[in-house]
Amino acid sequence: MSVRVVLVDDHPVFRIGMAALLESLPGLRVTGQAASAAEARALFAGAVEADVVLMDLDLGDGSGVDLTRELLAARPGLAVLVVTMHEDDDAVVASVRAGARGYLVKSAPPDAVERAVRAVAAGEMILSPAVAQRAMAYVLGGRTATRVPFPQLTDREREVLDLVAAGRDNAVISRRLSLSPKTVRNHVANVLTKLSLPDRSAAILRAREEGLGGA
């Protein structure tokens, strides 16, 4: 029986290339593609057949981490394999906590992609070598992995959002972080875009739900 794969990635060139690779491999079949979180929701609201979802973290209209959590709540039998540019520990931890069974970087060679897809379809957990090496160092170093909110944000954007959630205005944030007011405005705009939020008030509520704003 073929492993049915759905691709969720907002980069058409990557998506087309990945679909061609998977379709060329025996026993793998691409049954759907989505270029955004909204398209993925529509796809899975229908009758799409899927065993594995290849998930990007940075979707134009939302977070792959949030979408992973959402899809798995609706279809617990799915295996989500994150395929992304991000190799940072925060993104790995957030993805795994959301229920992803695997984590690959987009630079992974075709044979690694094939192994990962087959592995997660079989119920295994898989990390790319670079990620696994750092994860092992993380464990051996005795650090406790903690959930980092909004892994799609940069450290600076998260820092700005934390201060926004604490009720600080842009002028105060500018002084606190030694940034120009324009840079702060840009960071706030980026946060709203990445989190698909309409305004600052919505950002404050969402950030406080995730434990930010304690400053």
Rounded Cα–Cα distance for residues 177 and 163 (Å): 10
Query: Is residue 155 within 8 Å of residue 91, measured between CB atoms?
Result: no
Question: What mean pLDDT is predicted for residues 184-201?
Answer: 92
Q: Worst-scoring range by mean pLDDT, 47-56, 145-154, 197-206?
A: 145-154
Q: What is the pLDDT of residues 5-43, one digit of tens each?
A: 999 999 999 999 999 999 999 999 999 999 999 999 999
Residue 14: alpha-carbon gap to chain centroid = 16
CB half-sphere exposure, 103, CA atoms < 13 A: 28
> 78: which DSSP letter?
-
In this predicted structure, the answer to whether residue 142 has a pLDDT above a threshold of 60 is no
Rounded Cα–Cα distance for residues 133 and 207 (Å): 31
Rounded Cα–Cα distance for residues 19 and 24 (Å): 9
pTM value is: 0.63
Q: Which residues pair with 103 in a beta bridge?
A: 82, 127
Domains and CATH numbers, the chain: 3-141 (3.40.50.2300), 155-210 (1.10.10.10)
Q: What is the pLDDT of residues 88-113, one digit of tens each?
A: 667 777 888 889 999 888 888 899 89
- Residue bearing tokens 């600052």: 200
Rounded Cα–Cα distance for residues 170 and 168 (Å): 7
**Residue 135 confidence (pLDDT):** 61
Query: Is residue 105 within 8 Å of residue 85, measured between CB atoms?
Result: yes
In this predicted structure, the answer to whether residue 139 has a pLDDT above a threshold of 80 is no
Q: What is the pLDDT of residues 150-192, one digit of tens each?
A: 888 888 899 999 999 999 999 999 999 999 999 999 999 999 9
Rounded Cα–Cα distance for residues 31 and 24 (Å): 14
The C-alpha angle with vertex 1 and arms to 104 and 127, in degrees rounded to 5, equals 15
- Residue bearing tokens 């840079």: 183
